[in-house]
Structure 1
Amino acid sequence: MHPATEVLHWYGLTAEAQTVVDRAENTLLAAIGRAPGELTPSQMAIAHQVDTAVAARDGRAMVLRHLLDPNASHVWRGERPQNRIASQVSTALPPRPPANAGRAVGR
């Protein structure tokens, strides 16, 4: 297969996957309604479908990126470990405000 043909093929697959993501997200929004709260089991199943569709789209996009830039090894392996460590989200609880933080000043 010619490289340009392969890029177009994977672009088509990625665009198709984006359409599936859009439909799944719209279905989830319709199921949740205007006042989201605790998800029901059927809503959670739709949310999992959205996650699956996003993962498929992202995988296809990674292949497409690799085909467009074969020197981009970070596409497959992610950032270097030392870069990921610095950007991790802390799982520690935030500090508690002082007990009198809610009281008005001067009382």
Structure 2
Amino acid sequence: MEFRPQPEITAQEAAERVERVLAENEVVLFMKGSEQVPECAYSREALQLLTRYRDDIVTVDVLAALEEYRAALAAESGWETIPQVYVDGEFIGGSERLATLEERGELEARLDG
């Protein structure tokens, strides 16, 4: 038997939060865990890449309602995996995309919007 905790928010609430946080913030990282305690290597890598150039990143921990946030983010970006980074409401990608932009020397400019 599998124990599945109830999410803290509904799918509709997750979608509304995604929409609101994207509208109100310039650089947003939807991640597993918090800025202080990233809960996966990809989230940690994305956070490290972003904080090289910006200190005003807004992070959203999706773990309390992972499937609800995953669905809301997939509807927004067409991308189901987490982490996800947005700049000025535009989906940029996950940690691999950020690493590619960094390798090309394009990440800093992309984060400037």
Under TM normalisation by the shorter chain, which class is it? under 0.3
* TM-score, normalised by the number of residues in structure 1: 0.26
Point out the structure with the larger helix share. 1
Larger Cα Rg: Structure 1 or Structure 2?
1
Point out the structure with the larger strand share. 2
* TM-score, normalised by the number of residues in structure 2: 0.25
